[in-house]
């Protein structure tokens, strides 16, 4: 299990010193920002509401294998929950990495470099994904 409480200041990747918050504190902050209940998150994690409350209150440590699922439920990144990032939103690079190998080959066929793919805006990534999904479904329907 991962220790959720950090008592020493954390030197962030940009050199700034921030007091680290626990996974539980970050989960609570994100959950309330999304307007969802502890019970909803507990149901999705398949734990009791009391167990999930204990995670948020740092009474109980969350198991490492549950962190990616919690991040997904809270529409955030594991980096945010673990305190490696202060940005709860998915980064453009992380969104780009969700493209399949085939989709990346397609993007590269338009002479886009990996750097250009990384620099696409979130909106551009959504539009590209929607276009690819549309084309794939269109061609499936022809068959």
Domain check: are 100 and 40 in the same one? no
How crowded is the C-beta side of 111, counted as CA atoms within 13 Å? 0
Question: Does the pTM of the predicted model rise above 0.85?
Answer: no
- What CATH number does the domain containing 20 carry? 1.10.260.40
Domain check: are 39 and 101 in the same one? no
Domain check: are 48 and 79 in the same one? yes
Domain check: are 101 and 33 in the same one? no
Enclosing domain of residue 136: 93-142
pLDDT in single tens digits along all 143 residues of the chain: 444 443 333 333 333 334 558 999 999 999 999 999 999 999 999 999 999 999 999 999 999 889 989 998 998 888 888 887 777 776 555 555 566 677 777 777 878 777 787 777 767 777 887 887 788 788 777 76
Q: Is residue 137 part of a domain?
A: yes
∠ CA 49-77-96, nearest 5°, is: 140
Domain check: are 130 and 65 in the same one? no
């Amino acid at each position: 299990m991962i220790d959720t409480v950090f008592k020493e200041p954390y030197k962030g990747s940009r050199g700034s010193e921030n007091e680290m918050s626990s996974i539980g504190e970050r989960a609570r902050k994100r959950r309330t920002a999304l307007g969802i209940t502890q019970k909803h998150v507990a149901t999705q994690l398949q734990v009791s509401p009391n167990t999930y409350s204990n995670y948020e209150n740092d009474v109980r440590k969350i198991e490492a294998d549950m962190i990616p699922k919690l991040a997904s439920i809270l529409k955030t990144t594991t980096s945010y929950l673990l305190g490696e990032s202060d940005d709860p939103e998915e980064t453009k690079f992380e969104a780009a990495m969700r493209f399949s190998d085939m989709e990346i080959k397609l993007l590269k066929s338009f002479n886009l470099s990996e750097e250009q793919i990384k620099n696409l805006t979130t909106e551009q990534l959504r539009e590209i994904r929607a276009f690819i999904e549309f084309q794939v479904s269109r061609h499936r329907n022809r068959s």
